[in-house]
Structure 1
Amino acid sequence: EDLLVVLATVVALRGLVAPIALPRVRPARAVAAGVAAYTLLMGFVVGSRHAALQTHALDLGYYVQVVWSIAHGHGAYVTLPAMHAWGDHFSPILYLLAPLGRLAPGGSALVLTQTVILCSGAVAVFVYAARRLHSVSDAARPAAALALLYLANPSLHGINIRDIHPQAFAVAFLVWAAAAFDAQRYGWCVLALVLTLGGREDAAIAVVGFGLWLALARRRWALGAAVVAASVLVLLVDLTWVMPYFRGSPYPHLDRYRHLGASVPEILVTLVARPWRWAPIVLTLPKLAYLAAMLAPLGFLPLLAPRALAAALPGLAMNLLSFDPVLFNYRSQYQSFVLPFFVLASVDGYARLRQWRASEARGGGGVRASVVPSGGPRPVPRLRVSATRVLAFGFLASAVLTARTVNDFMVTRWWPNDDR
């Protein structure tokens, strides 16, 4: 892992000295090479971390137990602490991983599976971007660059390295859902959303974001509203009936938001009717720095596509409304419901930037005339921003922000006490 950080820094410094000449290859081949390189390198990192005892009982050991127990017909039971796992986090997608509990039991297979799933998101970005940029000349090339930018994202690396979390699969699944929707493959879109919901109970909040994306970015108002309503219903059913049934007590993880209310409806009322309760929590310097760290590796392109970016608001609200610093750590697994929408918005933002540049080119220069109150025209300079330079900035920011992941749950913290 340290070697990868050093190499990323060297490449970034080399790029500052002079442009790096890259071989001209077909965009699809560049994406395939990037996917293969990411799978091998990140697979080595997560595999070697596990072999070097740098993975943790929570959460890798927890999910190893769940998968093993399901595979051997014992149900989703764990001993960290002893309970039915669905009473802590409802992750039925783990039933699909149950064969690993027999074929390759242990943590290595799970962390490698997570790596492959997250890596597949690059293919989804390429497919989505190539279709979205169809009006751009040679659309496949910027689509490939955006796919590689996804693979270079430090938030993706942090999610990937941080043991295994089923909700992390949402990063790839949601981009696949968007690509399938734009391709009018609605069945595949629904499947991707169902898989997202199966990752964890709060993944319904990410699907609420997808509903907003449908309504705002694709102007499918009725469909988007239906997806939002269905997702909220799923969330309420999971938190009110399903998980308390397995746990034997109320859902425990709303404690992070107890300053906003004791239940989901009460929290929603506070968000709508009592903004003075949460605005001071959100508008803090650490959280603004967190937003900058999320946007910089994407060249701040999402800001150019506010309709698509609005889909990230539900996931961002989960993180920004909490006092827990892990939630607004840009390399934690809690970015799984934010990163996919930032990536989708970056594609739309790139498309808008290219449209602006094309309009400037057709307009014949970098200035335009505007009417001032005196009635006379005044030249107004246009913002000259190269789309290529924006992508280069994103890659550089990714290299700068790539740093060692420090997991809050150290092995010693979870070592059994004498009485256990």
Structure 2
Amino acid sequence: MPRRPGDPWLWAVCAAVFAVYVVLSVSRYAVGNPASWDLGIFTEAVRHYAHFQAPVVDIRGMDAMGDHFSPVDALFLPAWWLAPSPVTLLVVQAALAAVSIVPVYRAAAARLTVVEARLVAAAYGFSWGLASMAWYDVHEIAFAVPLIACSLSAMARSKHRAVVWWAVPLVFVKEDQGFTVVAIGLALALVYGKRLAGALLAAWGVGWSLLAVYVLIPDLNPGHAYPYWSQDGHLAGLAAGWDVKGPTLVVLLLPTALVALRSPLAAIAVPSIALRFVSSNPAYWGTIWHYNATVMPILFVAAIDGLARIRAGRPTWARGFWPYLGQYAPSMMAMGAVTLALWSPLQNLWQPGTYKTPAHITAARAAEQMIPAGQTVNTTLPELAPLAARGDDVYYFNDRTAPQWILLDTASWNVPVASVSHFPGFTYRTLFHRDGVVLEQRISAHR
């Protein structure tokens, strides 16, 4: 019998993945190159949770639960209490990605050889979907990745009770994860014959998703609606954008050497992909951002199951290149991971600019030190997370309420309109101006 969790190769891969994703994400934060405002949003929400307060995010101007139903964010707290910093969230996310390798390895070790399990585990750990999650700030779906991996691994090993228990908490990660739970329940019922357990799991998933979308989120959202379904799109949007959607599907399947297609478990990825493809927002269609991370464990476990089915001769009409893939797919998956690393966010590891702090970020950090903690600050993207972690009420694109401080990094991308001219009736004085960074303090209101 193979040594599964005790295999030193497994722990070496987990450690390597953890280290790589920490370097990838923390270096981006350290040099002031955030992908978006997301790290600032999660930092502010977790900070409020840490003080047993509602996760009101001034950056968005709403309760975080009015945007996405993600009570799982509270699980960041133990680490946050030890080290209250945006870096802590990034490290936890890297740890969750590394932990998810274990169930994928266990499924492979149970259905394939030990060597093949090692290759598949390494290919999964460094897959481009997980690398994208690490590169694009931090998101709640980091918690979904190991849960999905554990549930699908249990399914591939016919541990049906474990399938259910690992899938149940997914509804508390994000409102759309309930539909993945539905797909897991249907697979359990239709593929493995566990009709009652599968039906109950599917009902649990769809019930929580609909409750979150139609009741919980609108109750806390300023517009009293679920913002992502109130946009144009839906089924009509499915026909558009296939110049982007088509390549996305291909690149999703390439890391598994296509053998994921030989398993019915691959269908569990359909809700996750379909919910993105029906949107009218092109940002959801492609390979950037974090949206493909939850698909990775599904497709890799499906590939493991597909390989086992090919080798068992199911279905008996298997012909052509499938037997060839059945023999060489694990090696192809490992080689594919190396090749795709030249294209995925992993390529940033060997780019000198990844570790170089620009002069304007150094200046912005000096300006941040001039602001007392607990202030209201209008600022630009690189400064959102560090200021939020200190306890400041941080605003982005705010032109409604005159803040106590304005910290503008004009050299950063996507600079908001937040200058003194947008707050008539208030007087500000400039305290800092260097390398495109301007710090202004509100001193009075005109009478």
The two structures have a TM-score, normalised by structure 2, of: 0.71
Give, in angstroms, the shift of residue 26 of structure 1. 11
Does structure 2 retain, via aligned residues, the 8 Å contact 1:319–1:328?
yes
Q: What residue in structure 2 maps to residue 300 of structure 1?
A: 258
Give, in angstroms, the shift of residue 414 of structure 1. 5.7
The whole-number CA distance in structure 2 between the counterparts of 1:382 and 1:196 is 36
Say whether 1:396 aligns with 2:335.
Answer: yes
Q: What residue in structure 2 maps to residue 340 of structure 1?
A: 297
Map Cα deviations across residues 243-285 of structure 1 (whole Å, 9 max, x no partner).
Answer: 12222411111145x333xxxxxxxxxx6xxxxx466337x23
Q: What residue in structure 2 maps to residue 161 of structure 1?
A: 135
Does structure 1 retain, via aligned residues, the 8 Å contact 2:260–2:306?
yes
Q: What residue in structure 2 maps to residue 353 of structure 1?
A: 310
Say whether 1:68 aligns with 2:26.
Answer: no
Map Cα deviations across residues 356-407 of structure 1 (whole Å, 9 max, x no partner).
Answer: 49x99xxxxxxx9xxxxxxxxxxx988651545322322333233333549x
Give, in angstroms, the shift of residue 45 of structure 1. 1.8
The whole-number CA distance in structure 1 between the counterparts of 2:212 and 2:184 is 19
Say whether 1:222 aligns with 2:179.
Answer: no
Give, in angstroms, the shift of residue 290 of structure 1. 0.8
**Aligned match for 1:254, one of 222, 229, 249:** 229
Give, in angstroms, the shift of residue 69 of structure 1. 0.8
**Superposition pairs of residues 102-251 of structure 1, within 5 angstroms:** 102-131=81-110, 133=111, 139-180=113-154, 182=157, 184=159, 186=161, 189-248=163-222, 249-251=224-226
| Residues 151 and 388 of structure 1: CA distance in aligned 2, closer, same or farther (over 3 Å) | farther
| Residues 339 and 216 of structure 1: CA distance in aligned 2, closer, same or farther (over 3 Å) | farther
Map Cα deviations across residues 158-208 of structure 1 (whole Å, 9 max, x no partner).
Answer: 11221111123212211112334546473x545532432221122212212
CA-based RMSD of the aligned residues comes to 3.0
Q: What residue in structure 2 maps to residue 52 of structure 1?
A: 31
The two structures have a TM-score, normalised by structure 1, of: 0.75
The whole-number CA distance in structure 2 between the counterparts of 1:387 and 1:169 is 32
Structure 1 runs not aligned, ≥5 long: 1-24, 261-270, 272-276, 361-367, 369-379
AA in 2 matched with 1:153: S
AA in 2 matched with 1:106: S
Map Cα deviations across residues 200-247 of structure 1 (whole Å, 9 max, x no partner).
Answer: 122212212222331344232332222222211111111121112222
The whole-number CA distance in structure 2 between the counterparts of 1:343 and 1:212 is 19
AA in 1 matched with 2:308: A
Say whether 1:327 aligns with 2:280.
Answer: no
Larger helix proportion, structure 1 or 2?
Answer: 1
Does structure 1 retain, via aligned residues, the 8 Å contact 2:116–2:331?
no
Percent of pairs with identical residues: 24
SS at match of 1:74: coil
The whole-number CA distance in structure 2 between the counterparts of 1:165 and 1:382 is 39
Does structure 2 retain, via aligned residues, the 8 Å contact 1:34–1:148?
yes
Please identify, of 106-115 and 307-316, the stretch whose mean Cα deviation from structure 2 is larger.
Answer: 307-316
AA in 1 matched with 2:250: A
AA in 1 matched with 2:202: V
| Residues 355 and 190 of structure 1: CA distance in aligned 2, closer, same or farther (over 3 Å) | closer
The whole-number CA distance in structure 2 between the counterparts of 1:324 and 1:60 is 21
The whole-number CA distance in structure 2 between the counterparts of 1:404 and 1:145 is 19
Map Cα deviations across residues 306-364 of structure 1 (whole Å, 9 max, x no partner).
Answer: x111111111211222233322223431123422221221111111233349x99xxxx
Does structure 1 retain, via aligned residues, the 8 Å contact 2:45–2:57?
yes
Does structure 2 retain, via aligned residues, the 8 Å contact 1:76–1:84?
yes
Say whether 1:285 aligns with 2:270.
Answer: no
SS at match of 1:417: coil
The whole-number CA distance in structure 2 between the counterparts of 1:382 and 1:110 is 44
Does structure 2 retain, via aligned residues, the 8 Å contact 1:31–1:144?
yes
AA in 1 matched with 2:275: M
**Aligned match for 2:269, one of 306, 309, 312:** 312
Does structure 2 retain, via aligned residues, the 8 Å contact 1:290–1:328?
yes
SS at match of 2:283: coil
Does structure 2 retain, via aligned residues, the 8 Å contact 1:206–1:337?
no
Say whether 1:77 aligns with 2:56.
Answer: yes
SS at match of 1:316: helix
Does structure 2 retain, via aligned residues, the 8 Å contact 1:88–1:247?
yes
AA in 2 matched with 1:221: R
| Residues 108 and 297 of structure 1: CA distance in aligned 2, closer, same or farther (over 3 Å) | same
| Residues 301 and 331 of structure 1: CA distance in aligned 2, closer, same or farther (over 3 Å) | farther
SS at match of 2:229: helix
The whole-number CA distance in structure 1 between the counterparts of 2:80 and 2:6 is 37
| Residues 383 and 195 of structure 1: CA distance in aligned 2, closer, same or farther (over 3 Å) | closer
Give, in angstroms, the shift of residue 86 of structure 1. 0.7
